[in-house]
């Protein structure tokens, strides 16, 4: 796992330490003809050897366009792309050594699994004996050796996905690109296959960029997550860093279903959150590093609060979602005008008002981030 990159530095210049990353994208920009604004604007990130980067964000934020730019399927209107330290900005797709796993897997129905996996090698006129060895190795890596003679119609959704991965691996790509790898599966299977895919990607050991709009998938599969919004990179960091320290309210809500609330020092060893909630500094994570003379904000993940009749915060409950072991409660703090989402054990008695307090050290305070979430 590599450390988080600074969004500002990455998008403009690229870090010196990242010169030999498997992928180094600097200032990627794409404006479709006739579009009012770029679909992708000044996006930069690196992917280290063997690292998995997830591109995430809401529909239309530019994930697929970014993936297609790495593959060479979409031209760049700005920026550069280096693969293994070599400028690949103008390189044709077939010369980029990219393994592409499309969303619906794209297997040829009239070919056996083995022939599907060997297709790219045949197209490159790789000699038959080398082809056989490469296909066997790819089938082994994707754990589908025993399916070699079947046709795609005889495979389950999960098996199809592994075959598509084997096909991408067979050509010995330096970078794997996966477009919504679990989207073609039904929700239950998707949950089951997430961990399996994570392990397969580790075993494959390739630099991987995958696109997903599902935060669970990103958290489970990726070493680092790049979050896009309206074509711009908002944060690029490890799942733990994003969970602990989301760049802004958008990231907090998208990845952790959490909240970033405005706060100010009350001058008496406590902070006033969202104008309504007074919290002693000693109960907050990050209190020892924060500059109290500057603007503050409080990061609150859904399970950072517990119900307590003596709690400092009264939440006016607007909506509840029962999720099995927890109930997700959306509401507004009494007297405040912010929305808040918390998750409480489903045994909690929920009425139209509940009082809450922070779990010790869970809620964190920090100085307010600049616009765009850059540090």
Ligand X SMILES: Nc1ncnc2c1ncn2[C@@H]1O[C@H](COP(=O)(O)OP(=O)(O)OP(=O)(O)O)[C@@H](O)[C@H]1O
Q: Residue numbers of the site for ligand X (CB under 6 A)?
A: 32, 35, 39, 57, 59-65, 213
Q: Which is nearer to ligand X, 38 or 152 (CB)?
A: 38
Shortest distance, CB of residue 259 to ligand X, whole angstroms?
24
* Residues 126 and 170 sit within 8 Å (Cβ to Cβ): no
Q: Taking the complex as a whole, how short is the minimal distance between the CB of residue 176 and ligand X, in angstroms?
A: 18
Q: Which is nearer to ligand X, 68 or 369 (CB)?
A: 68
Nearer to ligand X, 30 or 160 (CB): 30
Residue 82 near residue 91 (C-beta atoms within 8 A): no
C-alpha count within 13 angstroms, C-beta hemisphere, residue 136 = 6
Q: CB of 305: closest distance to ligand X in angstroms?
A: 31
Where in 48-124 does DSSP place strands (E)?
52-56, 78-83, 86-87, 98-101
Least spacing, CB of residue 268 vs ligand X, in Å:
46
Nearer Cβ to ligand X (32/322):
32
Cβ contacts of residue 362 below 8 Å, gap of 6+?
285, 301, 303, 304, 305
Considering the complex, what minimum distance in angstroms separates the CB of residue 67 from ligand X?
A: 8
CB of 369 to ligand X, least distance (A): 23
Q: Kindly state the DSSP code that residue 76 receives in the 8-state scheme.
A: -
- Tokens representing 274 are 């969202």
Tokens for 138?
A: 């790819």
Whether residue 47 contacts residue 54, with contact meaning beta carbons closer than 8 Å, is answered with no
How many CB atoms within 10 Å of residue 182? 26
Cβ 44 to ligand X, closest distance in Å? 16
For ligand X, the closer of residues 59 and 153 by Cβ is 59
CA distance 234 to 227: 6
Choose between 62 and 358: whose C-beta lies nearer to ligand X.
62
Give min distance, CB of 30 to ligand X, in A: 8
Dist CA 14 CA 69 (whole Å): 17
Pick 65 or 265: Cβ nearer ligand X: 65
Closest distance between ligand X and the C-beta of residue 250, in Å?
14
Q: Is the dihedral of CA 55, 56, 57, 58 positive or negative?
A: positive
Q: How far is CA 286 from CA 77, 296, 298, 365, 367, in A?
A: 41, 11, 10, 6, 10
Element (H, E) at 129: helix 128-141
Q: How far apart are the C-alpha atoms of 326 and 340, rounded to whole Å?
A: 16
By C-beta, is 71 or 317 nearer to ligand X? 71
Question: Tokens 């590093």 belong to which residue?
Answer: 289
With CA atoms as reference, report the closest residue to 270 among 342, 361, 365, 368: 365
Q: Which residues contact 349 (CB under 8 A, 6 or more apart)?
A: none
Least separation in angstroms between CB 279 and ligand X? 37
Closer to ligand X by CB, 30 or 96: give it.
30
Which residues are within 8 A (CB) of 113 and not within 5 positions of it... i.e. 6 or more apart? 139, 144, 147, 148, 149, 150, 151, 152, 155, 163, 166
Nearer to ligand X by Cβ, of 65 and 159: the residue is 65
């Amino acid at each position: 796992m590599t450390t988080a990159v600074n969004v500002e530095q990455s998008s403009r210049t690229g870090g010196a330490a990242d010169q030999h990353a498997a992928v180094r994208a600097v200032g990627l920009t794409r404006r479709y003809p006739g579009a009012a604004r770029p679909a992708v604007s000044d996006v930069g990130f690196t992917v280290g050897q063997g690292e998995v980067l997830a591109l995430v964000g809401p529909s239309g934020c530019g994930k697929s366009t970014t993936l297609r730019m790495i593959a060479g399927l979409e031209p760049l209107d700005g920026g550069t792309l280096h693969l293994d330290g070599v400028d690949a900005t103008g390189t044709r797709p077939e010369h980029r050594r990219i393994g592409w796993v499309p969303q619906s897997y794209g297997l040829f129905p009239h070919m056996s699994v083995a022939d599907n996996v060997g297709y790219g090698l045949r197209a490159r006129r790789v000699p038959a004996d080398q082809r056989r060895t490469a296909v066997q190795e790819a089938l082994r890596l994707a754990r589908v050796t025993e399916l070699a003679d079947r046709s795609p119609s005889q495979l389950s959704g999960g098996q199809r996905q592994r075959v598509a991965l084997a096909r991408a691996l067979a050509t010995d790509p330096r970078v794997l690109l996966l477009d919504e790898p679990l989207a073609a599966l039904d929700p239950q299977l998707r949950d089951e296959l997430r961990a399996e895919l994570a392990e397969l990607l580790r075993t494959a050991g390739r630099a991987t960029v995958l696109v997903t709009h599902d935060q669970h998938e990103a958290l489970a599969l990726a070493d680092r997550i790049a979050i896009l919004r309206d074509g711009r990179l908002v944060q690029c960091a490890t799942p733990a860093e994003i969970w602990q320290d989301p760049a802004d309210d958008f990231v907090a809500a998208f990845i952790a279903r959490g909240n970033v609330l405005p706060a100010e020092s009350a001058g008496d060893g406590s902070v006033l959150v969202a104008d309504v909630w007074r919290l002693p500094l000693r109960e907050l994570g990050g209190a020892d590093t924060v500059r109290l003379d500057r603007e503050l904000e409080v990061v609150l993940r859904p399970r950072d609060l517990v119900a307590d009749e003596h709690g400092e915060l009264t939440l006016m409950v607007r909506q509840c979602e029962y999720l099995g072991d927890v109930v997700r409660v959306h509401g507004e703090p009494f007297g405040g005008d912010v929305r808040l989402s918390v998750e409480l054990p489903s045994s909690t008695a929920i009425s139209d008002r509940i009082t809450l307090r922070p779990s010790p050290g869970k809620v964190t305070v920090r100085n307010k981030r600049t616009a765009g979430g850059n540090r």
